[in-house]
A and B are shown apart, each in its own frame.
Chain A
Amino acid sequence: DQQVKQNSPSLSVQEGRISILNCDYTNSMFDYFLWYKKYPAEGPTFLISISSIKDKNEDGRFTVFLNKSAKHLSLHIVPSQPGDSAVYFCAATLTGANSKLTFGKGITLSVRP
């Protein structure tokens, strides 16, 4: 049972444009959501997160939006840069003890120069 779903396996955008990466989850108990970025031959690195008490969190070019009623979150990258080309994983967790992260399958983002 895939509790965190990233239904689009890949996305290609032009440099300078907006990249929108989507993620859906099924477990309404999740209360904290994270995005990780992964380059080839490296481990995933933390990018940005959002608590369920918020609907938006911004960090530089990266903004994460959360729609709890739809159980949907999205990552916006503006403007997109070639160095953003990577695999992006959405993850969800319950805060507190035993708080492992549940990951989606990832989206491969390609930013064309």
Chain B
Amino acid sequence: DSGVTQTPKHLITATGQRVTLRCSPRSGDLSVYWYQQSLDQGLQFLIQYYNGEERAKGNILERFSAQQFPDLHSELNLSSLELGDSALYFCASSPHTGTGANVLTFGAGSRLTVL
């Protein structure tokens, strides 16, 4: 158990629908990162939050949004789903002190299947 909790583990939905993925970071970690892993692709960075504020944005579609709440858990919202959104979505957390190296701890992922 990495300490990063993601729910749900699996999700099957239809095109056009909206889903919410949830992440609880490791205790004490202030930064949360969302990554997408599609078939034959590496881990694509989507977005980062630090202590409730958006810190960095990657290749995140406009149909996707995220937030980090005061208790530091984060949610990734995916709307108007398309077949191509089927992927593994990983959440990771880190202490992110702003200095030094940043080693991320990953959750087990949420597998989204869009039919």
Contacts and interface: CB of A to CB of B under 8 A. Distances in A.
Is chain B a partner of chain A in the same complex? yes
Interface of A: 4, 6, 32, 34, 36, 41-46, 49, 51, 89, 91, 93, 95-106
B40 A43 contact: no
A99 B102 contact: yes
Contacts of A97: 55, 98
Interface in B83-114: 90, 92, 96, 98-109
Contacts, number: 70
A95 B106 contact: no
A25 B106 CA distance: 22
Interface of B: 2, 4, 33, 35, 40-45, 48, 55-56, 58, 90, 92, 96, 98-109
A34 B103 contact: yes
Nearest to A41: B108
B105 A104 contact: no
Given A43-B90, A93-B102, A103-B42, A98 B56 contact: yes
A99 B41 CA distance: 21
Nearest to A106: B42
A104 B42 contact: yes
